[in-house]
Amino acid sequence: MPRRIIRRQHWTMIIAVVPLVAFAVAATLDAAEPLGLKPIRHPKDNKPTPEKIQLGKQLYFDPRLSRDSTISCASCHDPAKGFSNGEQFATGVRGQVGGRNSPTIINSAFNRFQFWDGRSGSLEEQALGPIQNPIEMDMTLEEVVERLNGIEGYRAQFQKVFGTAVTAENIGRAIAAYERTVLSGDAPYDRFKDGDESALSEAAQRGMKLFFGKANCSACHAGSNFTDNAFHNIGVGMEVDEPDQGRFVISSLGGDTGSFKTPTLREIARTAPYMHDGSMKTLEEVVAHYNKGGGSNPYLDEEMFPLNLTQQQQADLVTFLKEGLSSENYPNHQPPELP
């Protein structure tokens, strides 16, 4: 079967399973989202409140959710490091190292799927995954619930927010409510689009034209969050004997072999290293990879082809990514006081 047909089946499958009706569009508690972003879709059963967001923030920064009380969500998704960790791979309890780069939490409120392979369909589900992963936080949900119920401050907050003692479901809801506040918009690109012609340098403007034109980056890095929320094989890591199969492990669709979720490009200058395997240290390396047409393999996306950009054009494209998509209002959240 031609790979293009397989990919179309994949999207039919996505449309069928994504429970869009489970969401209700609602504004953030602070009024409008940052310039350039769309309204957030909050699950009907997890509407945000200030108390829920604060509880979720405490849980996000609390290492007591891990087996040896050394690893929190913020350990791998650190605000000071673009809500990633600045390393090639994530490191969990007992110094264990995973096999994938930590994706940023920034604007994850807009993701249709979570994790590089999209195995979670919501932030609520995603929040509970690392807690149970033996090389990340290495807890069972029963154990973490028991531990948190043993902390008076958490018991009181869960009662106030949810009307129950600590439960696994409500841990996920609280963390997800907090993560939906980690937003980045109002970047120079947004202000330029809004009419401020001085917001972007001449080099960044040239790079922007390449991004939406000859380089065609916007084919996948589309929309206000610069992602199509889909999965693509761009040839990263496919040269090894046993490459990471990516989305294929979840979907079992041949066209998804070696495919990974398109990440947002918001705050991309802060989230190095890049790609699902953290194999590229700089944006210059990333642009060079696309310029050569990606890494050849039997499952390479049809969208990948040599761009034939000059060195100056590649430099301009990098300038747009760094300058144009980095907000002065970066959400540099600080750890809260824990109960």
Shared domain for 210 and 305, answered yes or no, is yes
pLDDT of residue 315: 98
Residuewise pLDDT in 10s, the chain (339 residues): 333 333 333 333 333 333 333 333 333 454 468 999 999 999 999 999 999 999 999 999 999 999 999 999 999 999 999 999 999 999 999 999 999 999 999 999 999 999 999 999 999 999 999 999 999 999 999 999 999 999 999 999 999 999 999 999 999 999 999 999 999 999 999 999 999 999 999 999 999 999 999 999 999 999 999 999 999 999 999 999 999 999 999 999 999 999 999 999 999 999 999 999 999 999 999 999 999 999 999 999 998 999 999 999 999 999 999 999 999 999 999 999 999
Under 8 Å between Cβ of 56 and 175:
yes
pLDDT, tens digit, for every residue of 252-302? 999 999 999 999 999 999 999 999 999 999 999 999 999 999 999 999 999
Question: Can you give the CATH number for the domain in which 236 is found?
Answer: 1.10.760.10
Query: How many CA atoms does the CB half-sphere of 22 hold within 13 Å?
Result: 10
Q: How far apart are CA 32 and CA 295, in angstroms?
A: 41
Under 8 Å between Cβ of 93 and 71:
yes
Pick the catalytic residue: 124, 136, 179, 267?
Answer: 136
pLDDT of residue 34: 96
Shared domain for 275 and 192, answered yes or no, is yes
Shared domain for 205 and 295, answered yes or no, is yes
Shared domain for 41 and 80, answered yes or no, is yes
Task: Tell me whether residue 88 is in a domain.
Answer: yes
pLDDT of residue 33: 87
Q: How far apart are CA 339 and CA 336, in angstroms?
A: 10
Shared domain for 104 and 253, answered yes or no, is no
Shared domain for 40 and 94, answered yes or no, is yes
The token pair that represents 115 in the structure block: 């994790």
Q: How far apart are CA 35 and CA 190, in angstroms?
A: 6
pLDDT of residue 32: 67
Task: Quote the domain boundaries for residue 58.
Answer: 3-179
Q: Which of 179, 196, 226 is the last residue of a domain?
A: 179
Shared domain for 37 and 144, answered yes or no, is yes
Q: Which residues contact 3 (CB under 8 A, 6 or more apart)?
A: 254, 255, 299, 302
pLDDT of residue 20: 35
Establish whether 136 is a catalytic residue. yes
